Each structure stands twice: as structure tokens, then as C-alpha cells.
Amino acid sequence: MLLPILAFPDPRLNIVAKPVVEVDQRIQKLIADMLETMYDAKGIGLAATQVNVHERLVVIDVSDTRDQPLVLINPEITWYSPEKHVGEEGCLSVPEIYDKVERSVAVKVSYLDAKGKPQQLEADDMLAVCIQHELDHLLGKVFVEYLSKLKFNRIKTKMLKIQREEEKDAQYEKMSRPKL
């Protein structure tokens, strides 16, 4: 089932997620729905926060073939490489906005997999950036918060304007629909 993705600056994107208590059927369903939503939106990562579920769960797939899903439950970054890199980032919650963010080149992360089994992973390059970006979402942080105040406000204004126009279009459509 496709889930609606919250759009910045929706304040629900700033809610801090709580740990998943049990990897049960509800979580399995959420994982399946989040993967479907991420693939449909052509994203490489999606945090539960973005679909308005405030629990520590993210799905990622940085493969070109789009068939290497990675599920991180209760993920914690246990090590950041001192070496950093500035790269261009985007986000499904901030459509069409891309900007430079500095991140560690590599990270180590401990987490539970989709079966609830404890795992560890050392990631670098795109996967390391993606993990840092998605885990920020679980802390209620969107990548645009790393940008200058000026850029941040500009993006916020632009997004609000788009959202207002979308709302207007939706209202107009409702009004012009023939009532039979």
C-alpha cells in the first residue's frame, strides 16, 4: 500500500521517533508499505517519520538495480569517520530541492534487521550519506536545516507556495466536478 509522504515544512517531520518495541506483524506491514512507497517515489531512502509513523525504522536501497532493500530498525550510528565529504542531497519530503551537505564519508551502524535480529554494518559513499540523512529524519531533522538560514527560508516559502497552489487546484477540481 502506498503511503502519503509528509512534505516540508510539515511540523510532523520534526517529531523525534521512539524505538520500535517489537518487530511484529504491524512492523512487517509498515516495512512492506514503506519499501513500496520508496520505490514508487524513486527514492533511495525513506524514514518512518516521513510517512507520519514516529518509530525508529528506515528503508534504503542505493542499488542501481533497485532490488537490494536494506531495512534498519532502531538504528544507531556507533562510529563516524573523521573524514568528511560535501555532496548534493535531495529528499522525498522536499521535492525538487537539492543542495550541498557535509557528511562523514563512512559510518558504522548497529540495528535490527527485518526479522528483528541484531546486525552491524559498515557503510561508505552513497550508503553512508543515505544512512546519516535517514537517521536525521528519525531525530526530526530535515536536510535543509543544514543550509544557511537564508536558503532555508527561501525553500520554506517556495514549498508553502507550491502546497497552497496544490490545495487550490484540488479545491477547484472538487468544485468543477459535476454532481450527479
Just list the catalytic residues.
134
Contact 50, 93 (CB under 8 A): yes
CA 74 vs. chain centroid, Å, equals 15
Q: Select 19 or 95, whichever has its Cβ closest to Ni ion.
A: 95
Q: Select 116 or 152, whichever has its Cβ closest to Ni ion.
A: 152
DSSP H or E segment with residue 136: helix 125-138
Q: Select 39 or 116, whichever has its Cβ closest to Ni ion.
A: 39
- Stretches 52-60, 61-69, 83-91, 106-114: which one binds Ni ion (CB under 5 A)? 83-91
Q: Which residue in 57, 91, 129, 131 binds Ni ion (CB under 5 A)?
A: 91
- Stretches 10-18, 19-27, 91-99, 108-116: which one binds Ni ion (CB under 5 A)? 91-99
Q: Select 95 or 118, whichever has its Cβ closest to Ni ion.
A: 95
Rule CB under 5 A: say whether 159 interacts with Ni ion: no
Least distance between Ni ion and beta carbon 133 (Å): 6
| Sign of the CA dihedral with 81 first, then 85, 87, and 93 last | positive
Q: How big is the site for Ni ion, counted in residues (CB under 5 A)?
A: 1
Rule CB under 5 A: say whether 135 interacts with Ni ion: no
Q: 10: burial class by Cβ within 10 Å (0-12, 13-18, 19+)?
A: middle
Contact 27, 73 (CB under 8 A): yes
Grid cell of 147 as nine digits? 543550509
Least distance between Ni ion and beta carbon 134 (Å): 7
Least distance between Ni ion and beta carbon 13 (Å): 9
CA distance to 69, 151, 171, per residue, from 4 (Å): 20, 26, 19
Strands 70-80 and 106-112: antiparallel
| Contact positions vs Ni ion (CB under 5 A) | 91
